């Protein structure tokens, strides 16, 4: 049995967890060299959201928007999964239960670490979508306005398969199902600024049968909603947490 502590609150882990949901954000990929959004020097300090991350931005200046995502897609070739991603992969491999990763990240570092059951609620950099025939294509290289859709052959139809501000995140029904049944909810590397993801912890708390843990470099906006918080680098804290979870034995 393990105890964990935040302030005066001590949670005794008396049971193994059967349905774990892990919400990840940009902080888990920071140690791989992927820029976060809201830290000093983050993407939203360098670019205005309304210039590159809304449907209106794409309508107004598609070349700029494609270029922004082309650069980020190209950067994926330079980065590798880190100890935080690998710890979650180990949890999936060794826990006698279900582990779902809901990620706000559009990189593919969870996949490359060997994880499965990954829900990309904000889309994926290595995919583009045809606005004419709706086909989603795997995409490793740059995408331009004149690039033809491999399925329907039309030009000026491909867009990044990214959820922009003002658009509905993907897989919300599936996410709700996972949150309803989870018995452990871990949030890693997210500032808690963007809904609906920022509201998942309160959803889980209202359902009422899960322990909730935040792992982040610093307190997130929603830290007070978590039963437990551990602050530091995900690459250090996640492997330690996963060791604790996997070491729990039911008598």
The reply, when asked if residue 69 is annotated as ligand binding, is: yes
Catalytic residue check, 122: yes
Tell me if 37 contacts ligand OAD by CB under 6 A: yes
Q: Look up tokens 């729990």; give the residue.
A: 248
Mark out the alpha helices in 1-99 (DSSP H runs): 26-30, 43-46, 49-52, 55-60, 62-75, 83-94
Q: Look up tokens 């452990």; give the residue.
A: 184
Q: Is 62 helix (H, G, I), strand (E, B) or coil?
A: helix
Report which residue's Cβ sits closest to ligand OAD.
Answer: 27
**Distances in Å between the alpha carbon of 173 and those of 39, 60, 86, 168, 187?**
31, 32, 27, 12, 19
d(CA 162, CA 197): 15
Among the options 85, 110, 120, 122, which is catalytic? 122
Rg (CA), the chain: 19
The reply, when asked if residue 36 is annotated as ligand binding, is: yes
Tell me if 81 contacts ligand OAD by CB under 6 A: no
Q: Which position among 6, 16, 18, 39 is part of the footprint of ligand OAD (CB under 6 A)?
A: 39
Q: Which position among 32, 100, 115, 216 is part of the footprint of ligand OAD (CB under 6 A)?
A: 216
Q: How far is the CB of 96 from ligand OAD (least distance, A)?
A: 27
Tell me if 117 contacts ligand OAD by CB under 6 A: no
Tell me if 212 contacts ligand OAD by CB under 6 A: no
Residues lying near ligand OAD in the complex (CB under 6 A) are found at 25-27, 30-31, 36-39, 42, 53, 104, 122, 163, 165, 189-191, 193-194, 216-218, 220, 233-234
- Active site residues per annotation: 122
């Amino acid at each position: 049995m393990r105890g964990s502590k935040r302030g005066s609150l001590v949670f005794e882990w008396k049971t193994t967890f059967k349905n774990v949901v892990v919400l990840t954000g940009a902080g888990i990929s920071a140690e791989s060299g992927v820029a976060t959004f809201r830290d000093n020097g983050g993407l939203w300090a360098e670019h205005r959201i309304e210039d590159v991350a809304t449907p209106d931005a794409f309508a107004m200046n598609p070349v700029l928007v494609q270029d922004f995502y082309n650069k980020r897609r190209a950067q994926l070739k330079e980065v590798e999964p880190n100890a935080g991603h690998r710890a979650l992969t180990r949890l999936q491999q060794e826990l006698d239960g279900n582990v779902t990763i809901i990620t706000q990240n559009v990189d593919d570092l969870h996949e490359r670490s060997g994880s499965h059951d990954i829900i990309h609620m904000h889309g994926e950099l290595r995919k583009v979508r045809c606005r004419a025939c709706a086909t989603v294509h795997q995409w490793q290289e740059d995408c331009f306005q004149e690039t033809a859709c491999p399925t329907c052959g039309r030009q000026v139809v491909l867009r990044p398969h990214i959820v922009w501000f003002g658009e509905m995140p993907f897989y919300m029904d599936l996410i709700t199902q996972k949150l309803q049944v989870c018995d452990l909810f871990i949030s890693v590397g997210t500032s808690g600024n963007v809904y609906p993801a920022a509201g998942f912890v309160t959803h889980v708390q209202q359902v009422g049968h899960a322990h909730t843990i935040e792992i982040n470099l610093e307190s997130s906006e929603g830290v007070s909603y978590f039963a437990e918080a551990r602050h530091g680098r995900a690459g250090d804290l996640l492997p330690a947490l996963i060791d604790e979870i996997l070491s729990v034995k039911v008598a």
